[in-house]
């Protein structure tokens, strides 16, 4: 069955008895038109079933009423819930959302940003691959495109950001394990890129508060919190208990956890630094048929839905994911509306959700 012909603005104008330019002003919501004329045009549009051409309108007004989002990994439940927060705010304000994905790859991020600019979005929300501030984002911001960073942030970019207190919340999680009596606590974290020095040197510096967490990726900030908790309890950090996965993959996390759990002096507790690491860790635990918490205590960063329903339920760090998205959208829409205040770097609290996966270690 052939598609119905698209109703044009010229047909609406003819039905309303006005010029095409007048109909365009009414339906594009720009310029001045009297209330009576506007009512006639709107009635004609409803009668004919007119659907506005948003691209054509954006060419006239310079505004598309859409925002673009560059997520790091759309398979990750974290970004799905952040996107819901973005979408709820955008929809309430009459904006659409176009989602793209970088897969944590800088070249793909550049391509995604360029694609969204070609779609004439009014602003961007980005989870930047490079927290040192990539040239393409600097150029984007210098060109006047409103931009907000989420999940991680380059603080030398002139752009707002919404992140969580990764270091403090990881410190709280590991402290919970230490209070339960654990002294051999392993961490499973991606930790793919380190700009300067070795992992051992990073741990030594973190133990003396000499690393600047603001310039680090979230996984490294969470490792800082892991080190902080050990320092607080006077427990030396064993670098052999740091499962550096090296890629953002649950399969790789499973391999790293398996190596730790099969070591002669295996850990009595595991801390997974994000949801993807948690999935890999849980696979390793299942493969080795270890009982939680009788044989192994665990805490996961990211409170994924399945963690509430598995038995035992998993103790987690709960991030305010919907608020991350909604706050990012609010900041971006304020910038689109003309806010020129200094960039705001918002660090939200994440909370420890205590359930049943932690117990004192067996003698």
Q: What is the pLDDT of residue 238?
A: 94
Question: pLDDT tens-digit profile of 221-247?
Answer: 999 999 999 999 999 999 999 999 988
Domain boundaries, the chain: 9-61, 66-163+321-348, 166-319
Q: What sign for the dihedral angle of Cα 101, 106, 111, 116?
A: positive
Checking if the pLDDT of 1 tops 50, the result is no
Q: What is the pLDDT of residue 156?
A: 82
Contact status, residue 274 vs residue 188, Cβ threshold 8 Å: no
CA distance 193 to 319: 23
Most confident of 15-19, 39-43, 322-326: 322-326
The lowest-confidence range among 55-64, 70-79, 233-242, 271-280 is 55-64
Q: What is the pLDDT of residue 75?
A: 83
Mean pLDDT across the stretch 339-346? 94
Tally the C-alpha atoms within 13 A of residue 258's C-alpha that lie toward its C-beta: 14
Instruction: Decide yes or no: CATH 3.40.50.2300 for domain 66-163+321-348.
Output: yes
Burial of 208 (C-beta count, 10 Å sphere; 0-12/13-18/19+): exposed
Question: pLDDT tens-digit profile of 140-179?
Answer: 898 899 999 999 988 888 999 999 999 999 999 999 999 9
CA distance 356 to 51: 54
Q: What is the pLDDT of residue 62?
A: 52
Cβ contacts of residue 48 below 8 Å, gap of 6+?
7, 11, 12, 15
Q: What is the pLDDT of residue 194?
A: 66
Average pLDDT, the chain: 89
- The larger pLDDT score, comparing residue 198 to residue 184, is at 184
Say which CATH class 166-319 falls into.
Answer: alpha beta
End-to-end alpha carbon distance in the chain: 74
Contact status, residue 84 vs residue 329, Cβ threshold 8 Å: no
Instruction: Decide yes or no: CATH 1.10.3720.10 for domain 9-61.
Output: no
pTM of the model: 0.81
Q: What is the pLDDT of residue 37?
A: 84
At residue 3 the predicted structure's pLDDT band, cuts being 50, 70 and 90, is very low
At residue 195 the predicted structure's pLDDT band, cuts being 50, 70 and 90, is low
Bridge partners (DSSP) of residue 298 are 270
Contact status, residue 153 vs residue 131, Cβ threshold 8 Å: yes
- The larger pLDDT score, comparing residue 291 to residue 103, is at 291
Question: pLDDT tens-digit profile of 257-294?
Answer: 999 999 999 999 999 999 999 999 999 999 999 999 99
Tell me whether domains 66-163+321-348 and 166-319 share a fold: yes
Contact status, residue 255 vs residue 199, Cβ threshold 8 Å: no
Nearest CA-CA partner of 259 in 330, 188, 335 = 188
Cβ contacts of residue 228 below 8 Å, gap of 6+?
167, 170, 171, 174, 206
């Amino acid at each position: 069955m052939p598609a119905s012909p698209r109703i044009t603005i010229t047909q609406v104008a003819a039905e309303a008895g006005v010029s095409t330019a007048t109909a365009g002003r009414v339906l594009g919501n720009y310029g001045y038109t009297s209330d009576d004329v506007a009512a006639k045009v709107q009635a004609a549009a409803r009668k004919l079933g007119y659907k506005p051409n948003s691209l054509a309108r954006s060419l006239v007004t310079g505004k598309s009423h859409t925002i673009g989002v560059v997520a790091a990994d759309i398979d990750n439940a974290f970004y799905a819930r952040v996107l819901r927060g973005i979408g709820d705010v955008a929809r309430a304000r009459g904006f659409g959302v176009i989602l793209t994905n970088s897969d944590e790859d800088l070249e793909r991020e550049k391509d995604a940003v360029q694609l969204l600019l070609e779609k004439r979005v009014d602003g961007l929300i980005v989870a930047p691959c490079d927290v040192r501030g990539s040239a393409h984002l600097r150029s984007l911001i210098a060109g006047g495109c409103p931009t907000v960073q989420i999940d991680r942030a380059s603080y030398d970019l002139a752009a707002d950001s919404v992140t969580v207190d990764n270091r403090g919340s990881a410190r709280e999680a590991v402290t919970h394990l230490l209070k339960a009596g654990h002294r051999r606590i392993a961490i499973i974290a991606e930790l793919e890129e380190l700009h300067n020095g070795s992992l051992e040197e990073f741990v030594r510096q973190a133990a003396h508060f000499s690393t600047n967490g603001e310039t680090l990726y979230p996984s490294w900030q969470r490792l800082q919190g892991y080190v902080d908790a050990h320092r607080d309890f006077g427990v030396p950090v064993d670098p052999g208990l740091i499962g550096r996965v090296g890629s953002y993959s649950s399969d790789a996390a499973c391999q790293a956890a398996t190596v730790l759990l099969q070591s002669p002096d295996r850990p009595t507790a595991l801390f997974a630094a994000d949801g993807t690491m948690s999935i890999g860790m849980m696979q390793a635990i299942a493969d080795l048929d270890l009982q939680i918490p009788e044989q192994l205590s665990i805490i996961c960063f990211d409170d994924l839905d399945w963690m509430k329903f598995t038995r035992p339920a998993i103790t987690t760090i709960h991030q305010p994911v919907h608020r991350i998205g909604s706050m990012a959208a609010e900041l971006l829409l304020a910038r689109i509306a003309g806010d020129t205040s200094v960039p705001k770097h918002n660090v939200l609290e994440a909370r420890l959700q205590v359930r049943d996966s932690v117990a004192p270690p067996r003698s």
